[in-house]
Chain A
Amino acid sequence: MVEAHQLEKRFGDFVAVDKVDFTIAKGESFGFLGPNGAGKTSTMRMISCISPISGGTLTVLGQDPVKQGSSIRARMGVVPQEDSLDLDLTVLDNLMIYGRYFDMPRKLIRQRADQLLEFAQLTERANDRVDPLSGGMKRRLTIARALISDPDLLILDEPTTGLDPQARHLLWDRLYRLKQEGVTLVITTHYMDEAEQLCDRLVVMDKGRFAAEGSPRELIEEHSTKEVLELRFQPGQHEGIALELSDLAERHEVLPDRILFYTDDGDAALAEVHAKGYQPQSSLVRRSTLEDVFLRLTGRTLVD
């Protein structure tokens, strides 16, 4: 669906996307992960054929964004980072006018709008103005709107940023269903749980480059250990204790409020801590998550 080779985006001297290669297959759910300013949105905007590329090559839906941008965009649904809903119009009118951009017959838009409002759980609000809707509702409406033209490719730029947990879970559920339906999704996010839930494959971006690439599981295996032991001691003791216990795990990290030990067997490591006579205020053994990978790859000062 999308193929990029040495893709570049520059704004003057600033390089936002620095020669990246990637391929997104049909039916796949592909994620761009990274801190703010990593180049995710720039990449998405190039894929959406909104932003011209500065270098390299890019093919979207088998076509060239420079020459066939319009016909590519006609087959794509875009959920931008900032909502672009019309706040004065009703929920239904927002869908109607959007469908008109794609030159869909009014009757067809109406029919799909009913289905999509059902899907987005907005049926009761169909004739309300958009302005007073909650953030989660607006987001769901934006997604419904992007789906009105039955796109082959759905692009979501930080779909759940700024939403409360309930709203996020509802949205994930909807997106998961899209995935089940075989819609090709391209997602950017800086939430690890989101990426783990939704992405078959993802890249971690940092400073315009790809720091890592793979499925969530592969990334964890490659860049972290199976488990993480978190220990909390009196403030100020962490540095010293971490040094004394550094044999415990293949890697550890001192944070202001706790020490993290990266190990394949967290319980064994904890038993060893106790055996050595340390009494942490609290301890936690957990599975490694993408967050560990992410922070390792994109920075937080590490002590290896």
Chain B
Amino acid sequence: MTSTDVTAAAELTIFTHGEITPTRRFRTPMWMRAALYWGYQYKRTWRSSIVTSFLIPVLYLTSMGVALGSLIDKHSHGVGGVTYVAFLAPGLLAGTCMQIGTNDTMWPVMGAIKWMRTYFAQLAGPLSIYDVLLGHLAWVAARLSIVVTIYLIVMAGFGIVYSPWAILALPAGVLTGMAFGAPMAAFAATQDKDASFSTIYRFVVVPLFLFSGTFFPISQLPKFLQYLAYVSPLYHGVALCRNLTLGQVSLWVDLGHAAYLLAWVAVGYLIGRRTFAKRMVV
């Protein structure tokens, strides 16, 4: 076949005027199609991302958990009856989820509006603005679950998973991340510059990471800071993950933690629907 034949053949089939209209047995939900995009993006970086997700807990748990922890354990016999590393690990897990939840919704959301205009490409097809938002959040949740799974495997390697309940730390970690991710996506869609993001990081994310019971029980804090910690979704995420991996579950308390996190996700999503529509459907 000569090259002109190829072109001619191509011309004939590019436009069928509806004849090739794709039919599938099962229609992929709209939001899932948007989530797939982020999956394509992830294809480029998944190797380094997996390595990082593995290395971070190993490094933290070795240095802070084991090395620093042995000092703590020697002087005060662990924390609340368990070794420091067993106490710390679920806290770090929740804290990592918070960081991923915020990071993956700050710049990526604004970038998809301003820089790469990804959302607009999605909106040109059959997807609605709500599918675009939901798809992005679904992707963040998917990525969180990968990270949490790796984290739990590392924890098991350190021998600090004490209970089958720990399996529920997977959804608990995802929920913690999304309690930050959903509101942050809603906020990021209102921003024109990324200056506010580093401010949020410095004045919200880092303090929460340090003072939400991640590294020490909040009973060590002055009373008023304790009340402040109760408001922080991270406090509830840490407590929930910790109860699950240590096997110290008390049903109503932990359901309460989960419900509080879920409320942040729901409110964030509902506000996000408004800010996304306001920004892009004009």
Given contacts A103-B24, A118-B10, contact A73 B121 (CB under 8 A): no
Given contacts A51-B281, A103-B22, A118-B6, contact A89 B126 (CB under 8 A): no
**Is A173 an interface residue when CB atoms closer than 8 A count as contact?**
no
Indicate which residue in A76, A89, A177 contacts B40 across the interface (CB closer than 8 Å): A89
- Complexed CA–CA distance, A27 and B225 (Å): 69
**Is B116 an interface residue when CB atoms closer than 8 A count as contact?**
yes
Q: Mark B8-43, 1 if CB is under 8 A from A, else 0.
A: 001101111111111010011010011011001101
> Could you tell me if A97 and B40 are in contact, using CB atoms closer than 8 angstroms?
yes
Indicate which residue in A101, A152, A183 contacts B33 across the interface (CB closer than 8 Å): A101
> Could you tell me if B128 and A70 are in contact, using CB atoms closer than 8 angstroms?
yes
- Complexed CA–CA distance, A182 and B21 (Å): 17
> Could you tell me if B125 and A73 are in contact, using CB atoms closer than 8 angstroms?
yes
**Is A88 an interface residue when CB atoms closer than 8 A count as contact?**
yes
Indicate which residue in A96, A101, A105 contacts B127 across the interface (CB closer than 8 Å): A101
> Could you tell me if B28 and A86 are in contact, using CB atoms closer than 8 angstroms?
no
**Is B193 an interface residue when CB atoms closer than 8 A count as contact?**
no
Indicate which residue in A48, A76, A98 contacts B121 across the interface (CB closer than 8 Å): A98
- Complexed CA–CA distance, A6 and B118 (Å): 32
Count, chain A residues at interface, CB 8 A: 48
Which parts of A38-70 form the interface with B (CB within 8 Å)?
48, 50-52, 69-70
Indicate which residue in A70, A97, A181 contacts B14 across the interface (CB closer than 8 Å): A181
CB nearest to A89 among chain B residues: B40
Indicate which residue in B13, B18, B43, B122 contacts A152 across the interface (CB closer than 8 Å): B18
Cβ–Cβ < 8 Å partners of B281 in chain A: 50-52
Which parts of B208-230 form the interface with A (CB within 8 Å)?
none
> Could you tell me if B125 and A102 are in contact, using CB atoms closer than 8 angstroms?
yes
Given contacts A119-B10, A149-B125, contact A88 B41 (CB under 8 A): yes
Cβ–Cβ < 8 Å partners of B123 in chain A: 50
Cβ–Cβ < 8 Å partners of A78 in chain B: 124
> Could you tell me if A116 and B14 are in contact, using CB atoms closer than 8 angstroms?
yes
**Is B48 an interface residue when CB atoms closer than 8 A count as contact?**
no
**Is A239 an interface residue when CB atoms closer than 8 A count as contact?**
no
> Could you tell me if B33 and A103 are in contact, using CB atoms closer than 8 angstroms?
yes
Cβ–Cβ < 8 Å partners of B34 in chain A: 101
**Is A150 an interface residue when CB atoms closer than 8 A count as contact?**
yes
Given contacts A152-B17, A183-B15, contact A102 B118 (CB under 8 A): no
**Is A93 an interface residue when CB atoms closer than 8 A count as contact?**
yes
Most buried by A among B14, B19, B28, B40: B14
**Is B74 an interface residue when CB atoms closer than 8 A count as contact?**
no
Q: Distance (Å) between the CB of A301 and the closest chain B CB?
A: 34
Q: Mark A238-274, 1 if CB is under 8 A from B, else 0.
A: 0000000000000000000000000000000000000
Given contacts A51-B281, A52-B281, contact A101 B122 (CB under 8 A): yes
Cβ–Cβ < 8 Å partners of A89 in chain B: 40-41, 44
Cβ–Cβ < 8 Å partners of B36 in chain A: 97, 100
Indicate which residue in B15, B37, B128, B282 contacts A150 across the interface (CB closer than 8 Å): B15
- Complexed CA–CA distance, A74 and B116 (Å): 22
Most buried by B among A74, A82, A115, A178: A115
> Could you tell me if B7 and A74 are in contact, using CB atoms closer than 8 angstroms?
no
Given contacts A88-B44, A119-B11, contact A102 B116 (CB under 8 A): no
**Is A31 an interface residue when CB atoms closer than 8 A count as contact?**
no
**Is B120 an interface residue when CB atoms closer than 8 A count as contact?**
yes
Q: Distance (Å) between the CB of A221 and the closest chain B CB?
A: 33
Cβ–Cβ < 8 Å partners of A181 in chain B: 11, 14-15
- Complexed CA–CA distance, A277 and B40 (Å): 73
Given contacts A84-B118, A118-B6, A119-B11, contact A74 B125 (CB under 8 A): yes
Which parts of B107-123 form the interface with A (CB within 8 Å)?
116-118, 120-123
Which parts of B246-282 form the interface with A (CB within 8 Å)?
281-282
> Could you tell me if A115 and B124 are in contact, using CB atoms closer than 8 angstroms?
no
Known: A101-B126, A119-B10. 7 other contacts (CB 8 A): A74-B125, A84-B121, A85-B121, A86-B37, A89-B40, A98-B121, A118-B6
**Residue contacts A-B, CB under 8 angstroms, 21 given:** A70-B30, A73-B126, A74-B126, A80-B117, A80-B120, A83-B117, A84-B118, A84-B121, A89-B41, A97-B37, A102-B126, A105-B24, A108-B20, A108-B22, A112-B14, A114-B10, A119-B11, A150-B14, A152-B17, A181-B15, A182-B15
| Chain A contacts to B: CB under 8 angstroms | 11, 48, 50-52, 69-71, 73-74, 76, 78, 80, 82-89, 93, 96-98, 100-105, 108, 112, 114-116, 118-119, 146-147, 149-150, 152, 177-178, 181-183
